[in-house]
Amino acid sequence: MTAPVPDSDSLLRDILTSVRTVAIVGASPDPGRPSHRIMRFLGEKGYAVIPVNPRGGGRILGKTVYARLADVPGPIDMVDIFRASDAAGAVADEAVALAPTKGIRVIWMQLGVRDDAAARRAEEHGLTVVMDRCVSAEYRRLVEPGRRRSAS
């Protein structure tokens, strides 16, 4: 694995203050899982969050769970990937394919998730890609600096 490419704080802040709808791929109904905590955190911050899990069906935090990004009705600004790095490429490729119709403009791979080849493919199609970063930690650091909160 190569070292993480540093994303500029201004780019991350712009993403976090401009996106409104976030699809959480790998969303879990288990409150102990990071994807569940991040989904709750983003919802509390005013983002529209959409759980996506290959099992599909059911609800997480009162939201309908979709099996694939293609099943999500309406637009998506950002795809937040909570899958293993070896599965992230397929998610990124689906996001690239859907970007023209869904409005997807950002792919965010959570802490520990990285796929450089998928990132290059997405960037070649005009999407912004963030890898190996925790969205809630970056939100706290860049959007709400100075506030102390418990870890998500």
56 vs 30, 85, 93, 135, 141, CA distance in Å?
Answer: 15, 21, 19, 23, 33
Mean pLDDT of the chain: 91
Residue 38 within any structural domain of the chain: yes
Q: Is residue 82 part of a domain?
A: yes
CA–CA distance, 2 with 10 (Å, rounded to integer): 23
Q: If you write DSSP's letter for every residue of 47-68 in order, what string do you get?
A: -EEEEE-TT--SEETTEE-BSS
Q: Is 1 inside any structural domain?
A: no
Q: Which domain holds residue 61?
A: 9-142
Which run of H or E residues covers position 87?
helix 85-102
Count: domains in the chain: 1
Report pLDDT digits (tens) over 3-45: 344 569 999 999 999 999 999 999 999 999 999 999 999 999 9
Q: Does 150 map to a domain?
A: no
Instruction: Tell me the per-residue pLDDT of 68-123, one tens digit each, with 9 for 90 and over.
Output: 999 999 999 999 999 999 999 999 999 999 999 999 999 999 999 999 999 999 99
Is 147 within a domain? Answer: no
Residue 49 maps to which CATH number? 3.40.50.720
Structure tokens at 44: 């509390």
Q: Is residue 133 situated within a structural domain?
A: yes
CB 20 within 8 A of CB 77: yes
